[in-house]
Amino acid sequence: MKKIKKYLIKEEALESFDVIGICTSQSDFRLAWQLNSKFDIKLQKSGRTLEIPNKKSGDLELFDYYYFQHPEDLISYYLIKNKQNARYVLTEKQSIDYALVLQENHVIDGLELVDDLRNTEEIIAAFYFKSSEFSNESYLIFD
């Protein structure tokens, strides 16, 4: 009788990333412009969408976002409007208007960034979160 081989597949652990929650009454393009001016970045509307499955129906929810990858620091910035088409990206933080996601961030102190945002005109509040605080963390990976 032939012996059956077993293979274990190890799932790669997701690298934690920073999420900055922003409360403001500004439109998405206006906020992107303001962040571009203040932090010398170039957020632009992406032609792609973030896909997150709906827990109840299983259908994919599509969310637009702004994107910029810094050429020197290699930090990827994503600005997402939290509520789009009556659905939330960050269901646990429905009071947040926007999420600024920083992936591959090894340079910027998230808490200092929050302080800078809090001192920005038109931004009512800013909060710092780790990606692990969200149930849909694995879907906040952008391609």
Each residue of 13-53: pLDDT tens digit? 446 688 999 999 999 999 999 999 999 999 999 999 988 88
Each residue of 80-115: pLDDT tens digit? 999 998 889 888 889 999 999 998 888 889 899 999
The beta-strand segments (E) located in 25-117 are: 44-53, 60-69, 76-81, 83-84, 87-88, 98-103
The whole-angstrom separation of Cα 66 and Cα 42 is 9
Work out whether the CA dihedral 50, 19, 100, 68 comes out positive or negative. Answer: negative
Reading phi first (left if > 0) and then psi (alpha if -120 to 50, else beta), residue 54 is in beta
